[in-house]
Amino acid sequence: MRALLRIIAGEFKGRRLKVPSGRTVRPTGDRVREAWFSILQQAIPGARVLDLFAGSGALGFEALSRGAVSVDFVETRRSSLAILKANSEALKVEDRVTIHRTDAVRFAERLEPGQFDVARRLKPIIARR
């Protein structure tokens, strides 16, 4: 069974998001998202948001819930891409979401200044054995 996250505040408060199964995706927890949005609360309404290494898209969907006009998700894992699509459909925000299947670093290298108002980059930790 897949884990679920909830949207903390805004238009979609309390709505649940699907999360990809497995240990390769570590969704940003409620407390971290709450702290992040507390810091950025004035920048979110009307913002164009970029969510690199998107995973479940929890941060991007939280931003939409709090008034962002659009979110671009960048992800390479098929399971995460499917979850991003399912979450955007469940929230009925497909017209405000763009999902890019590409390497996040390469995507970021091609960005133009001012293309996004808020960007989130959390590089995944790769476990070494």
CB atoms within 10 A of CB 8: 17
pLDDT at 65: 97
For 22-58, write each residue's pLDDT tens digit.
Answer: 666 666 777 888 888 888 888 999 999 999 999 889 9
The percent of residues above 90 in pLDDT, for the chain, comes to 63
Residue 129 identity (one-letter amino acid)? R
Q: Contact at 8 Å (CB) between 69 and 47?
A: yes
Question: Model pTM?
Answer: 0.87
- Separation between Cα atoms, residue 90 and residue 4, nearest integer Å: 13
